[in-house]
Structure 1
Amino acid sequence: MSGGGGHLPVMLAEVLDTLAPRDGGAYLDGTFGGGGYAGAILGAARCTLFAIDRDPDAIARGAALAARFPGRLHLLEGRFGDMLSLLADQGVAALDGVVLDLGVSSFQLDEPGRGFSFRFNGPLDMRMAKAGKSAQDIVNTLPESELADLLFDLGEERHARRIARAIVAARREEPVATTGRLAEIVRAAAPRDPSGIDGATRSFQALRIAVNDELGEVERGLQAAARLLAPGGRLVAVAFHSLEDRIVKRFMARSAGRGAGASRHDPAALGRRRDDPAAAA
């Protein structure tokens, strides 16, 4: 999660040390968010920075930072997976470094009206770009079996079938339209997690990833970044959960000419199965 004004970017020192921005260089922050990484990069060197975010709110917030660094920060609304075309429109064909802070931003999580978090009651939305199919659309239309697959594959939720069954039963009575109601349905359907995390965590993660095609975006973004990097350029990716982690590690291994061995975080490699018979009952 990245940001400024109380929303601190994760691993800022490590990101700057790895990126090593230099005077005269050209860089991309593919996940602008609150501008935490962008401000630090611009403050570390007399460089040019392009910043992408699909969230129009993030682009609007960036105006103040752009004013602090006139002519050096260029804000682009769109998906970082489309960075090749977005930068081509700016006449940019090569970069000295790319930073990707993957996942949802703290600004999105902290705003109830965006519908990303079960911590607040709000519309069941979760759209980063404020356009397209919402989490409410998915929850209320997806067949039960497909919903279970989604929760398991993208949320690593081993009680996926039980939760999907409960959601379908609830939506027959009334469409599931708020984060609060969905969280209640999920918590009631699955046993308390022994780790102590909220029972709705994995289901909300799965829906958010599906709504925004986050894993596909990571794949596209990494491939595009590699094509844009000039000789000696650096790619820095901050991954939060195991699904992103697996994609990034395999991409880095392939790019470095190493075999793409299974990540220790890969549920398939660990032989995990969807609900065991007791959990599915």
Structure 2
Amino acid sequence: MADIIKVEQLTYRYSQADQLALDHVSFSVAAGEWIAIVGHNGSGKSTLVRAIDGLIGYEEGSITVAGTELSPESVWLVREHIGMVFQNPDNQFVGATVADDVAFGLENASVPRTEMQERVKAALSEVDMLDFADREPSRLSGGQKQRVALAGIIAMNPSIIVLDEATSMLDPHGRQTVLAVLTKLRKAGQAPTIISITHDLAEAAQAQRLLVMNDGKLITQGTPTTIFSNDALLQATGLDEPFTTKLSRALAQRQLASPTGYLTDDEMEDWLWQSHSTM
């Protein structure tokens, strides 16, 4: 599958900072792939995606999105391919109602009114928020607000969706609801490319590939199973262990048979049911 994003030797330093925020970072993302970028605070995760969206400049390197190299002249063309959902949805709301907010980007793109209404309705249906179309965004719960923010992105139909700590302010239910929407989009065959910036390892585990950042450098990448099975890497980069790994260790300390290596939540649940049924 062709690459939709290609980053080569990307280097960036914040004003008056001694250390590089991005230190010669290189990687590519295939069209339709779901990647998660993980690392401790200040590792360069958010700086990286902001550079890809043209929100900050960079000293060295290049970024190519959907065949277009990012430059001051091409930045708006590149942004047509990218939809970003930020940590605090309140910072993205501009409309008086949910429907108005979802329509905002379409209006700016001069989408005809009939088509705009259809796309707003379809996007709100995708995130199960159609019944809230006439509500004020400020009166929604955190999870509902984030779903509306995501609907605004879906309505624009970008080929790349970036979640910049988009679930960090949500409770577990709200987080799972947002991730379920993304999974639903992929199962429906739309398969947008997804880049998730997250501290939540359960969220990261849903990605196909993880990029691990540390002090501005991309130090390794691999499947969630490969990364989460590497205890030394997790400790060195300040990443927490996944819950299933902690559970396996706790079972082993009680002399109970436990799986070796990383399991997803679903895999651990299946293993526990199978173990229980054989007791």
Name the TM-score, length of structure 2 as normaliser. 0.28
Q: Where is the strand percentage greater, Structure 1 or Structure 2?
A: 2
Q: Of Structure 1 and Structure 2, which has the larger fraction of its residues in helix? A: 1
Q: TM-score, normalised by structure 1?
A: 0.28
